[in-house]
């Protein structure tokens, strides 16, 4: 998923990004994006952010990448980095609000925190992105233990073709 320029409130969410150069890539001078509930693995860089303003990066999981998160934000303004799981971090940030981020093993093979993980019930409440959490507090990362296990993509039953709507 690649973003550049003014997002105007665009949400990038509920993606699995793997086996590519950058999982979620918000390029230079991007602003007004909400990036949440994404899982990035086996990429060169899982989450890439360059020189940005007015962005929320919340409840993502980026692990098993060469670099899990690259943050080139020394001039960032009004950026929040909250409830994210990553193992490796590179770069710097300026005025970014940073809460409940880092490495919280163990994780299951499907990237849901396992029993004993520090990610469970240790996230920050941030409505509406953490609404519906299970337990004492939201979990850190893309998945809520005991919550719905989401998968990306369409989840509907296609109508047989031809059908009466096609004519």
Partners of 126 in beta bridges: none
CA distance 142 to 39: 6
Whether residue 92 contacts residue 69, with contact meaning beta carbons closer than 8 Å, is answered with no
What is the DSSP secondary structure assignment for residue 157, as one 8-state letter? P
Q: What is the pLDDT of residues 61-119, one digit of tens each?
A: 999 999 999 988 667 788 899 999 999 999 887 778 889 999 999 999 999 999 999 99
Instruction: Provide the pLDDT for residue 65.
Output: 96
Closest CA to 104 of 92, 126, 120: 120
Instruction: Provide the pLDDT for residue 1.
Output: 58
Q: What is the pTM of this model?
A: 0.89
Instruction: Provide the pLDDT for residue 73.
Output: 65
Whether residue 112 contacts residue 91, with contact meaning beta carbons closer than 8 Å, is answered with no
Helix H segments across 40-156?
Answer: none
CA distance 1 to 57: 14
């Amino acid at each position: 998923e690649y973003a550049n320029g003014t997002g105007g409130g665009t949400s990038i969410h509920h993606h699995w990004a793997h086996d590519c150069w950058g999982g979620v890539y918000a390029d230079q001078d991007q602003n007004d994006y909400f990036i949440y509930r994404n899982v990035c693995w086996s990429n060169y860089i899982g989450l890439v952010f360059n020189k940005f303003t007015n962005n929320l990066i919340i409840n993502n999981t980026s692990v098993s990448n060469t670099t899990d998160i690259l943050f080139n934000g020394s001039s960032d303004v009004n950026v929040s980095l909250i409830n994210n799981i990553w193992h490796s971090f590179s770069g710097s940030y300026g005025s970014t609000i940073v809460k409940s981020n880092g490495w919280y093993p163990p994780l299951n093979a499907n990237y849901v925190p396992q029993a004993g993980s520090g990610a469970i019930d240790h996230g920050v409440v941030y409505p509406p992105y953490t609404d519906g959490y299970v337990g004492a507090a939201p979990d850190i990362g893309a998945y809520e233990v005991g919550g719905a296990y989401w998968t990306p993509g369409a989840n509907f039953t296609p109508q047989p073709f031809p059908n009466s709507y096609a004519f």
